[in-house]
Chains A and B, each alone.
Chain A
Amino acid sequence: MSDEAVLALVVAVRALVPLLIFRWNLAGAFLAIAADGSDAVIQDVLGAEPLRGWYHEFDKVFDTYYLGIALWVARSWGDRLAWTVLVSLFALRAAGVVVFELTGARAVILAAPNIFENYYLVLAGLRSMDSGYRLSGWREALVWLVLVSPPKLLQEYVMHYREAQTWRFVRDEIVTPWD
């Protein structure tokens, strides 16, 4: 498939799938995260690499797009504390992405990890089980923050700081370990 066709497909997936978050706060987020990981897979499977050389810029733009949709949705939850935490985490990440793009300093990505995503998933999950769920106070907010941060920090370190090829590792070790 041509580079242009693959690029159009990747853009369509990254642009359209996150819109499902508006209808299904949790399932839409799951699908948006899957779409986030799909671009490397789509390029690999279809044998074209239109994002070579500018993947990180492309990825960051669409990451911020779907996280922004999630933030917008969370505004309607009527949970002031959750909103405050989510806005803070989103702002930290967005500022980190801007500074990283301007300076190229990878340490910035580590200092501004995408913890927003995990925090949103926990709250959307809790709300899907109890639509009236609210954070009970700062203590609970902090407990969730401590619980969801370590996996994301590890992921940021490996994927964005060390720039390891996660999809290639998953493909070689899990999908087709016999090759």
Chain B
Amino acid sequence: MEARALRARFERVRRVVVVAGVGAVILVPGAVALWMLLAGRA
């Protein structure tokens, strides 16, 4: 695979990781909080 294609693939993977990371860090604590409420642990 030529270098340009490799760089493009790396960039796509990096974007997916960034979106997944930001989404997880924002959503997971809220989801855990909701879980605690529903489980009667809050």
Give me the interface of A with B, judged by CB distance under 8 Å.
26, 30, 33, 118, 121-122, 124-125, 128-129, 148, 150-152, 154-155, 157-159, 162, 164, 166, 169-170, 173
Contact = CB atoms under 8 A, between A and B. Distances in A.
Contacts of B30: 150-152, 154-155
A136 B33 CA distance: 32
A28 to B, nearest CB: 12
A169 B27 contact: no
What is the predominant secondary structure among interface residues of chain A facing chain B?
A: helix
A145 to B, nearest CB: 13
Interface residues of B, number: 21
Given A154-B34, A169-B32, A148 B41 contact: no
B19 A125 contact: yes
B33 A159 contact: yes
- Interface of B, secondary structure class, is helix
**Residue in B21, B26, B35 whose Cβ sees the most chain A Cβ within 10 Å:** B26
Contacts, number: 63
Interface string B10-28: 0000110011011001110
B41 A164 contact: yes
Given A155-B33, A164-B36, A121 B42 contact: no
A125 B18 CA distance: 6
A148 B34 contact: no
7 contacts: A122-B22, A122-B26, A148-B26, A157-B33, A158-B37, A164-B36, A170-B32
